[in-house]
Amino acid sequence: MRVVVFGAGAVGGHLAARLAAHGPAAGIEVAAVARGPQLAAMTQRGITLWIGEERTSAPIHATDRPETLGHQDVVLVTMKSSVLPGAAQPLRTLIGPETTVIFAMNGIPWWYLHRLKDGGMPRPDLSHLDPGGVLERAVGLERVVGCMINSANAIAEPGVIRNSPGTRNRFTLGEPDGTISRRLQTISQAFERAGIPTPLTATIRVDIWDKLVRNLSTSPICALTGEPIGVLGRHPELFALSKALMREGLAVCAAYGIHIDLDPERAYGARPSSTHKSSMLQDFERDRPPEIDGLLTAVQAFARAAGIATPHLDAITALVIEKARRMGLYPPAVW
């Protein structure tokens, strides 16, 4: 099985390291698409992953020219949704007639409405997640597999990934139509042989919303304060805001028939203390476009289509967008 990790940053680097170290014994030939210092480090020293005190390190074929890799069996896309449309054409060079493209990312994915049984609810406008349909044309919806990431990581230094304590490191795969297809089973079995837990689900959208609601209640607060998630445990006002955001997210997904077993009063314990920096905060710190649309404005689109008020979400989204615009990381306002 030929696999390429497209966007070998924090999460992509985690997967690339494990596939490079253990994939050959599982019949997997892996390559990585990266750029800048991350690419230079991977080319010179390989890729290293730290999970606690356990070190996984391996050489890997890395490039910033995906067109040199040829058609793949699996393209594992781990780029942030904020920059994904710009990668549509390079992605196309990796795709052959039998290629499966797995999108492992946070928030509402661009393909979300594909084969969705909506139960008569109005469909939100998610066109801003795939401007002009460039991803749909380059990839093809029939090739898409969804992936819910349960793995928190950060780039400790170029070529070195540090996994956050307490994360389950599972990568749940699901078809947009809810079937447990043969291609899902084949990919999962190969990844499991390489030591990567990849459970299968018939309800990938439930898994997506479950993580999204949690991210919704922490990521924008971390982005605005410049603090890890533990900031919620030091300021009761921020903790109250986090729970309000979670309640709004739960109300939105419930309107679309997705019910998540999550209690805002108990979700993070009595006092959150995690030292993990949210992915949105990491993006701001590295001057990279944050995933505002996938995590925030897409939820607003669902809410508005269903007629649900989200005052806390609306306020914090406006503030995050303004911060991103001042840093040149989000498109200017169009009146």
Residues with a catalytic annotation lie at 211
3-state secondary structure of 154: strand
Return the structure tokens found at 155. Answer: 């780039």
Q: What b/e readout covers 255-274, taking b as 16+ CB neighbours within 10 angstroms?
A: bbebebebebeeebeeebeb
- Which among 209, 205, 137 has a CA at the least distance from the CA of 176? 205
* Measured distance CA(218)–CA(53) in Å, rounded: 27
| Adjacency order of strands within the sheet including 153-157 | 54-58, 47-51, 160-163, 153-157
* Measured distance CA(320)–CA(209) in Å, rounded: 21
Q: Indicate the helix (H) or strand (E) that contains 31.
A: strand 29-33
How many other CB atoms are there within 10 angstroms of residue 199's CB atom? 14
Return the structure tokens found at 29. Answer: 């030939």
* Measured distance CA(315)–CA(241) in Å, rounded: 11
Residue 146 contacts residue 111 (beta carbons within 8 Å):
yes
Return the structure tokens found at 220. Answer: 């924008």
> Cβ contacts of residue 251 below 8 Å, gap of 6+?
308, 310
